[in-house]
Amino acid sequence: MKRRVSLLAVLAFFYQILFAQQQVALNPIKDNTLYQTADGSLSDGLGDYLFVGRVGSNGGGTIRRALLKFDIPAAIPSAATITSVTLTMNMSKSNTGSQSIFLQKLTTDWGEGTSNANANEGSGAPSSTNDATWVHRFFPSTNWTKAGGDFASTVTASTQVNAVGSYSWGSTSQMVADVQGWLVNPSSNFGWILIGNESTNTTTKRFDSRQNSTGANRPKLTVTYTVATAVSQIVAVATETALEQNFPNPFNPTTVVRYSLGRESRVRLSIVDQLGREVQTLIDRTQNAGSYSAVFNATRLPSGVYFYILNDGQQTIVKQMALLK
């Protein structure tokens, strides 16, 4: 059983004083629907709606998938730690029956062109330049690796939808990991794909898009985060004992922690999670003055933010690290 360390009081102080919680709500910067066709001739970049699932036999029983991307770095400080993520969407039309809608992370970039199916959006419109289609990431010449979109096999979140109304995905640990990863490495941010029941006809659900005329019905990503800027200011007070930022950071699954001592000290270097539970002790012994390093192997731990704590008997230094699997 993981024990709650005596340094939990130190972490609680950081959370209360230095980690003031903040929240931001974002609308997508682009969205689109993929309409299953052999040639990628249909899209709906500027339409009012997004579609997920499989249409009825009258529509050929073809599949619909929705794409969403949010600009995380534009709204959240780069040093932030993401603690909660929720996606909210309004379903404005539904075929009969409850269905699961899955959220999965896209692994390549895609476009939103000027196509607009207007009132007949369930059938799509002719694809325009830079549209995402079933075949193309950017119509007409850049294709997905696999038709239907390039996305991770891991499900980020799922929710059950039925009648018309508002639905939410999250917060899940994978949603937090996705958004934290996009914040740390913006070039990896390609957003999510929404996938419904594709095994049965007449399972489509219609959601309002970012272009919908009713602003309150547009997709919204609510992100809660903390910023740890004050921790580095406290570390700077140390005149003898110093703790460096782990490298690499983020990491998977190992990272190196370096520190130095100005005198012989009884040293304890430990790792705790966001609840203050110790997950690993790296060093717990007397060491002479000098520079040292320790390897943290997080193979058996889930993605998330962790804290590494150095205590030399006179002072305690805390820094954070991000494990992204």
Secondary structure (DSSP) of 71-112: -STTTS-TTEEEEEEEEEEEEEEE-SS-EEEEEEEE-S----
Other CB atoms within a 10 A radius of the CB of residue 278 amount to 17
- Alpha helices by DSSP H, the chain: 8-13, 173-184, 229-235
Alpha-carbon distance of 283 to 257, in angstroms, equals 11
Tokens (6 digits) for 108: 């390549």
How far apart CA 256 and CA 3 sit, in angstroms, is: 23
Q: Which of 294, 216, 290 is nearest to 254 (CA)?
A: 294
Structural Rg of the chain based on CA atoms: 24
Contact 204, 95 (CB under 8 A): yes
Residue in 138, 122, 140, 147 with CA at minimum distance from that of residue 47: 122
> What CATH number labels 8-18+230-323?
2.60.40.1930
Domain borders along the chain are 8-18+230-323, 22-227
Please confirm whether the linkage preceding 140 is cis (ω < 30° from 0). yes
Greatest alpha-carbon pair distance for the chain in Å reads: 79
Q: Give average pLDDT by consecutive 10-residue segment, the chain, 325 residues.
A: 45 50 93 98 96 91 97 89 94 91 98 91 95 98 97 97 96 93 92 96 96 96 78 45 92 92 92 89 92 91 92 90 91
Q: How far is CA 56 from the centre of its chain?
A: 33
Residue 198: predicted pLDDT: 96
Number of other residues whose CB lies within 10 A of the CB of residue 243:
20
- The encoded tokens of residue 271 equal 């790792």
> Which residue, 253, 78, 305, 303, is CA-closest to 182?
78
* Residue of 90, 215, 103, 99 lying closest to 164 (CA atoms): 90
Predicted local confidence at residue 19, as pLDDT: 54
The owner of tokens 């489509």 is 204
| pLDDT for the residue numbered 267 | 94
Rounded to whole angstroms, the Cα distance separating 307 from 44 reads 45
Block residue for tokens 């895609």:
110
126 touches 26 (CB < 8 A): no
